[in-house]
Structures are given as C-alpha cells and as structure tokens.
C-alpha cells in the first residue's frame, strides 16, 4: 500500500511525501520488461520473449526502472492524494528521490510532489448584507433604443456616395506584407465600421475613405505563421453602404410583431424596457452583494494557479508575448480579475456547503441549453462536447455557486437610492437566476474578454398571425444576408 504524509507549505501549497513499497512497484517493473521485449529485436530470441536478465545486460536495469517509475507515477500519485484526502488544483512538481537500485534491488520508490490546493476559509456571516442600487427606471431613450434595435433587424443596406463613417457597412480588399513580402490577401471582405472585429487600425484607416480609394496602415497579425508580427496592410475600399431603417408605422408593427399598430408595439417595447431596467437592478444588487461578502473574508489565492490561467488566456487567444494585446497593464488587470474570480468561487462554494445547495438534472440541463445558445450550438452537441471534455462536474459547480449567490441575495437588505426597498424574489428562484445570468456574466474574467458579453435575450413579440411572422423572419434573414454581401 502506498504510504504518504502531507506537509502544508502555505495555506494553498502542499508537499506530499510518498513511499511506494516494492510489491506495488513490481507490476510496473514487469510491464516495463515486457514492453521493452516487444520493442527490441535480439538475435536468437523472438520479439516479446527476451529474458529480463538479457534486457538488463543490454540496456541496464536503471533504464527499466526509469520506465517503470515514469509509467507508475500517475497511479501512485493518485493513490497518495486519495489517502491524504487532497485535491490538487495545479500540476504537481514531482521529485523522485529513491528507486530500486543495485544496492537495494527490492527497495521502494520514494518521491515528493508539490502542488496547489484550494484554501479553507472561515465563512463569515453572510445574512443581512446591506447594499444600495439605482432605481429600476426605464427612460424614453431606453424605449427608443429597443424600437431602433427592432427596426435594425428589418433594415436594408443601400450604397451611398460619400466617405465611410461609424456604423457604415463597407466592402474592401486587403493585402498584408511583412518586411516587404506579401503574406496574406483577401477580397470582397464585408465589415461594419467601428465593430472592432478585424485588424487593429482598420477603423482609423476607413474613417473618411470613399469607394475607389485606398489607404495603408500598420497592424499586428493574429494567428498563422506570422502571428505577432507587424504587417503593412493595404486597404482598397470598393463600396460604402448604410443601413436604411423602415419607418416606425403600423405597417412595420404588423410585419415585425403580433401587433396591428405602432402604438401597441411601442407600448409593448415600453414594458420590455421596464423589465430590462429591473433586470439591470437585480444584476447590480447581485454584484454588490457579492462584493460586500468578499470584503468580509481574506481568501489566500495560489500564485501558480493564477499565472497558469493568465498564460492560458493569452495562448488560447492567439496572442504572442509582447504584442499590442499582451501588455503589462493588461496582464495586471487580467490577473486582478482572475484572483477576484478565484476568491469568489471559494467563498460561494463554502456558502453552498453551509446552505446544503444541490443541483438537480433539470437545473443542469437548463444551464447547458442557455449556455449553448450563446455559442450558437445545438444543446445536444454542446452537452456531448462538455461530457467528452470532462467538463460536466465544472458546470455543476458553476450552477451550484450561482444558486449559493442567490441564497446570499435572498438574505440581503437591498434599497435603491430613493430609499425604497427592492424586492428581489424574482431573482432568487431558478428562473429568476436565468435572467441575471443572461444579463451579465462574471464567473470567469479571463474568458469573458474573449467572447461577446452575455445579454438578456430580447423578448420578440410573438406573432399572432402566422403568415406575418413567417414574412417578418424571411425579411429579417434577407437583411442579415445583405449585410454580408
């Protein structure tokens, strides 16, 4: 049986001393002899039938022991952390200090492993936290934005004979060169000025440029063999288009919704704006309550884990060290956000334990369906991808923490700046939590930066007349397709 003793190096760092007796090592040694026998050829012996003593003479027993140890370490380490009831949250740093050798052929394997673990904290009193939020009021501007957003869905693009401006749609050709050598070229690219989804510097180059004109600018390439290099990019503008919005009249109301008049549609959008204001207030309350809770307890954060997550963020995003995205300021901000997220996870896990929070299958499925839509994936395919990647336990932990935070919010005393008590009952139920989760995502700052912010799904008025709904959807699809033309 594997023997282990744990030594706490810090609140988040453990050193595990492990001794594996020879009887536990022998199966790995036997396997190593067999594997080597199957890999080599020695005259006079069939492959796989080479005696152990001959393998030792030819390759040395030390090589066999090394192979056995390398293959057995994971198993022995797993047994050791299970015995010590430890859960590593970082890759262990292993140092093998003793193996069976010529002086002690049946000696044990001895090694140490250092790794980070989640800290234990003393949970403070999280009931009755007091926060103040803005009143849940929707303005006329909010209502107009909702109407304009709906009109935009049914808008069409038309060519204009003027310089490109913010929010215009353009068609262009790009050629990128590094050190005078062309490295990439693309024609007929569509882009909305100011979207920030293309090369850095392209919005400045497009500003004031008309169809038929060109401009040159420098930009850092992302991805490919020239990732991180500065390129000279030539831009040829071939078309400038602006979105033409339909008139907000009765005909539009019938096309875009279940309503017969624009006044009815505006009244519905007014209700939606009011609901959105309530959602924003709930999100503000949730975030402030969590911030107040975090002030009450000091959570030790393992530096190694934070560094690893920050590096993963930059490498996953295709950013090279030293490029314009990877700056000391950006790293410091990302590290601070990651530390805060880690501490919040630890605190909410403790709340979940105290409140005996559980996650049922329905809640898990609900979360997976909501998250899959943000990635534009089929829920079944998304669930299968999570399962194959071993991510289901992580997802369950996230749902459990959200429910724990809802509990803290349930116990909180929330008032608005007008001194009015805020009723958050709608947000401390599973359904209410969906609204909060859709409105703002704060679980993983490192990932949040790389994907569009999560927003509450707009409540599109249900079509009362099936033909009108079908026509509206077709026209909206046509408008979206024309933006890509």
Q: Do 239 and 264 share a structural domain?
A: no
Predicted confidence at residue 48, as pLDDT, reads: 63
Q: Do 345 and 412 share a structural domain?
A: yes
In a domain, 454, yes or no: no
DSSP string, 7-57: EEEETTEEEEEEEE-HHHHHHHHHHHHHHHHHH---TTS-TT---HHHHHH
Helix axis angle for 328-354 and 392-411, nearest 10°, is 70
Predicted confidence at residue 423, as pLDDT, reads: 87
Q: Do 415 and 344 share a structural domain?
A: yes
What is the CATH classification number for the domain harbouring 109?
3.30.70.1050
Q: Do 186 and 55 share a structural domain?
A: no
How large is the average pLDDT for residues 21-32? 90
Give the model confidence (pLDDT) of 38-61 as tens digits. Answer: 777 777 676 667 777 777 777 778
Q: Do 323 and 274 share a structural domain?
A: yes
Predicted confidence at residue 473, as pLDDT, reads: 45
Final residue before a domain boundary, out of 420, 438, 456? 438
In a domain, 460, yes or no: no
pLDDT at 478 over 90: no
Q: Which of 132-146, 282-296, 338-352, 439-453 has the lowest mean pLDDT?
A: 439-453
The answer for residues whose C-beta is within 8 angstroms of residue 287's C-beta and 6 or more apart is 440, 442
Predicted confidence at residue 430, as pLDDT, reads: 54
Q: Do 161 and 51 share a structural domain?
A: no
Predicted confidence at residue 113, as pLDDT, reads: 96
Interior CA angle at 218 toward 217 and 220, to 5°?
140
In a domain, 93, yes or no: yes
Q: Do 298 and 432 share a structural domain?
A: yes
The answer for residues whose C-beta is within 8 angstroms of residue 470's C-beta and 6 or more apart is none
Final residue before a domain boundary, out of 95, 114, 133? 114
Q: Do 284 and 417 share a structural domain?
A: yes
Q: Do 265 and 239 share a structural domain?
A: no
Going by their DSSP bridges, the two strands 181-192 and 169-178 should be labelled as antiparallel
Cα 179 to its chain centre, rounded Å, is 36
Our count of domains for the chain comes to: 3
Q: Do 428 and 305 share a structural domain?
A: yes
**Strand ranges in 82-229 using DSSP code E only, listed in sequence order:** 93-98, 109-116, 130-133, 156-159, 169-178, 181-192, 214-220
In a domain, 326, yes or no: yes
Predicted confidence at residue 319, as pLDDT, reads: 52
Give the model confidence (pLDDT) of 277-301 as tens digits. Answer: 999 999 999 999 999 999 999 999 9
What is the CATH classification number for the domain harbouring 217?
3.10.50.40
User: Backbone dihedral region of 212: left (phi > 0), alpha (psi from -120 to 50 degrees) or beta?
Assistant: left
How large is the average pLDDT for residues 408-436? 79
The confidence band for 470, taking pLDDT boundaries of 50, 70 and 90, is very low
Final residue before a domain boundary, out of 209, 243, 277? 243
How large is the average pLDDT for residues 242-253? 94
Domain with 29, as residue range(s), is: 1-114
Predicted confidence at residue 325, as pLDDT, reads: 64
pLDDT at 431 over 70: no
Please give the helix or strand (H or E) that residue 375 lies within, else none: none
pLDDT at 452 over 60: no
What is the CATH classification number for the domain harbouring 302?
1.10.3120.10
Instruction: Kindly state the percentage of the chain with pLDDT values over 70.
Output: 84
Predicted confidence at residue 451, as pLDDT, reads: 33
pLDDT at 75 over 50: yes
Give the model confidence (pLDDT) of 236-246 as tens digits. Answer: 999 999 999 99
Q: Do 191 and 302 share a structural domain?
A: no
pTM attached to this predicted model: 0.68
Q: Do 274 and 230 share a structural domain?
A: no
Predicted confidence at residue 51, as pLDDT, reads: 74
How large is the average pLDDT for residues 388-397? 91
Give the model confidence (pLDDT) of 181-233 as tens digits. Answer: 999 999 999 999 998 888 889 999 999 999 999 999 999 887 677 777 889 99
Predicted confidence at residue 445, as pLDDT, reads: 34
In a domain, 421, yes or no: yes
Most confident of 218-232, 312-326, 401-415: 401-415
């Amino acid at each position: 049986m594997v023997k282990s003793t744990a030594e706490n190096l810090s609140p988040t760092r453990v050193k595990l001393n492990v001794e594996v007796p020879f009887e536990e090592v022998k199966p790995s040694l036997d396997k190593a002899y067999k594997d080597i026998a199957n890999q080599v050829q020695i005259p006079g012996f069939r492959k796989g039938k080479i005696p152990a003593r001959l393998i030792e003479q030819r390759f040395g027993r030390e090589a066999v022991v090394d192979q056995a140890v390398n293959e057995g370490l994971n198993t022995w380490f797993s047994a050791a952390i299970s015995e010590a009831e430890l859960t590593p949250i970082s890759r262990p740093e292993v140092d093998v200090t003793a193996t069976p050798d010529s002086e002690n052929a049946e000696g044990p394997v001895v090694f140490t492993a250092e790794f980070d673990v989640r800290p234990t904290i003393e949970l403070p009193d999280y009931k009755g936290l007091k926060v103040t939020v803005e009143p849940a009021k929707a303005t006329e501007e909010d209502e107009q934005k909702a109407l304009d957003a709906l009109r935009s869905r049914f808008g069409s693009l038309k060519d204009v004979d003027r310089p490109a401006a913010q929010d215009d749609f353009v068609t262009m050709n790009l050629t990128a060169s590094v050190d005078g050598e062309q490295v990439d070229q693309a024609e007929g690219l569509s882009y909305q000025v100011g979207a920030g989804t293309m090369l850095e510097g392209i919005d400045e180059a497009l500003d004031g440029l008309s169809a038929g004109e060109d401009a040159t600018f420098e930009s850092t390439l992302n991805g490919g063999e020239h990732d991180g290099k500065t390129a000279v990019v030539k831009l040829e503008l071939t078309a400038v288009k602006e979105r033409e919005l339909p008139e907000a009249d009765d005909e539009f109301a019938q096309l875009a919704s279940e309503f017969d008049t624009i006044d009815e549609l505006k009244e519905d959008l007014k209700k939606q704006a009011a609901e959105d204001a309530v959602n924003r207030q709930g999100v503000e309350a949730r975030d402030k309550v969590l911030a107040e809770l975090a002030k009450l307890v000091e959570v030790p954060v393992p530096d190694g884990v934070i560094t690893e997550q920050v590096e993963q963020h930059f490498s996953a995003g295709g950013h090279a060290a030293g490029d314009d995205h990877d700056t000391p300021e950006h790293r410091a901000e990302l590290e601070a956000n990651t530390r805060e997220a880690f501490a919040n996870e630890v605190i909410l896990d403790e709340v979940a334990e105290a409140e005996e929070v559980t996650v049922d299958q329905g809640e898990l499925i609900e979360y997976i369906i909501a998250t899959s839509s943000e990635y534009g994936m089929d829920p079944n395919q998304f669930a299968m991808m999570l399962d194959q990647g071993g991510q289901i336990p992580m997802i369950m932990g996230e749902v459990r923490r959200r429910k724990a935070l809802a509990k803290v919010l349930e116990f909180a005393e929330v008032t608005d700046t007008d001194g009015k008590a805020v009723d958050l009952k709608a947000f401390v139920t599973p359904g209410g939590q969906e609204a909060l989760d859709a409105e703002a995502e704060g679980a993983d700052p490192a990932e949040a930066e790389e994907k569009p912010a999560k927003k509450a799904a707009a409540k599109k008025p249900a079509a009362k007349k099936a033909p009108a709904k079908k026509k509206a959807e077709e026209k909206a699809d046509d408008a979206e397709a024309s933006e890509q033309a």
